[in-house]
Amino acid sequence: MSRKLDRSRELQKRAEALIPGGVNSPVRAFRAVGSEPPILVRGEGPRVHDADGNVYIDYVGSWGPLILGHAFAPVLEAIAKAAQHGTSFGASTPSEADLAEAVIQAMPAIEKLRFVSSGTEATMSAIRLARGFTNRKYIVKFEGCYHGHSDSLLVKAGSGVATLGIPGSAGVPDELAQLTLALPYNNVAAVEEAFKKFKGQIACVIVEPIVGNMGCVPPAPGYLKALQEIATRDGAVLIVDEVMTGFRVAYGGAQELYGLKPDLVTLGKIIGGGLPVAAYGGRADIMNKIAPLGPVYQAGTLSGNPLAMAAGLAMLCHLRDNQAEIYPRLDRLSSDLVNRILDAAHEAGVAMTANREGSMFTWFFTDKEVTDWNTAATCDTKKFGRFHAGMLDAGVWLPPAQFEAAFLSAAHTEDDINETVAAAREALAGL
């Protein structure tokens, strides 16, 4: 299609005078793909509309929350009904326990939970809680796993397997970064070595069960169970970050998929139905360390906001009641989409591999199997940028970075898949 972006350019220029980079989250600037960001004004089902009237099949879905598509009627109705009684109280409401009960029923590892407003808050709070519970200071994270932008988590590893971390962002003090051990993902030996080197000093291991921020990278067989065994043996807390995977890869999340029972879980995205909601929860004896019951402090004026609770509950109830239909269909359509585009790339002579788990997937512009950050880093990001631009021109909205997962929604149809594959064939031929 022939796209015009005149109005989007005007809006972006205005925003740049008021907001750093004109965006409130860096990836929205489209710098990783070297193109201009369309400014979105509406979403409906599997499609989004920009300020210039262009329409795109959406495989971002607000970065995962919109598993039922844009403007899903039961969610909108729940928000409107809740808003009639007020938008915020800064006090407890019945809806908080309603949504908490739905989450706990879906995830047996969670005995108690607390709501916050973002995934960053959830992971930051879970780590503070783990440190307070264990009275230890070191944490283990994995290269390529993103757990929000709190200081302890914006860290990259040194050259050694279990070296102390160095800051991955300006503004993160060296002293704080050195409390984070950043290890290669899918490498059990590296974890064993870290726990041997820092025996009795590691408060927690935090992991994305399926990585989404170096692209979609599933765990190797037995990897997550090994993390659980190592952490338990040393008295550390295992935190499984399901902000992205929770209710996405299965109704019970990656825990259900891989038979896990972590000590703490962080959630976000889908549990808010598209509104800003996240949570952290787990074993009652750990959660009872949070104020007002215990000494670990965490608070938030908008935590448990009634509009967000209503949206999340409507979303989870629909998924729960229709999970036998929704998840197999998402898996089937996603498999069809991913494999057909992979085939098209090979036919066009373009080096490409792909990873997928359920309705979460990534096409990697490399000939290597992507299992960790080092293999993901072999991707041809410039070629991905050209592919991304070609797909946008054809009316397909993909994540504007090679190292971000894409998502399918229950609103997508087989016709959408066919249209997307046709667009990909044309874009790949142009590479």
* Residues with catalytic roles: 146, 241, 269
Q: Give the separation between CA 292 and CA 283, rounded to whole angstroms.
A: 17
For the chain, the first-to-last Cα distance in angstroms comes to: 18
**Contact present, 268 and 278 (Cβ < 8 Å):** yes
DSSP 379-431: S-HHHHHHHHHHHHHTTEE--SSTTS-EE--TT--HHHHHHHHHHHHHHHHT-
Question: How far is it, in rounded angstroms, from Cα 333 to Cα 331?
Answer: 6
- Residue 238, classed as helix, strand or coil, is strand
Q: If you search the block for the tokens 């065994």, which residue do you land on?
A: 229
Q: Report how far residue 428's alpha carbon sits from residue 430's, in angstroms, rounded to the nearest whole number.
A: 5
Q: The tokens of 16 are what?
A: 């740049």
Dihedral sign, Cα of residue 88, residue 94, residue 97, residue 99: negative
User: Which region, left, alpha or beta, applies to residue 331 given φ > 0 means left and ψ of -120 to 50 means alpha?
Assistant: alpha
Residue given tokens 């407890």 in the structure block? 92
* DSSP-derived secondary structure letter, 156: E
Nearest to 327 by CA among 388, 397, 257: 257
Task: Encode 263-292: b = buried (16+ Cβ within 10 Å), e = exposed.
Answer: bbbbbbbbbbbbbbbbbbbbbeebbeebee
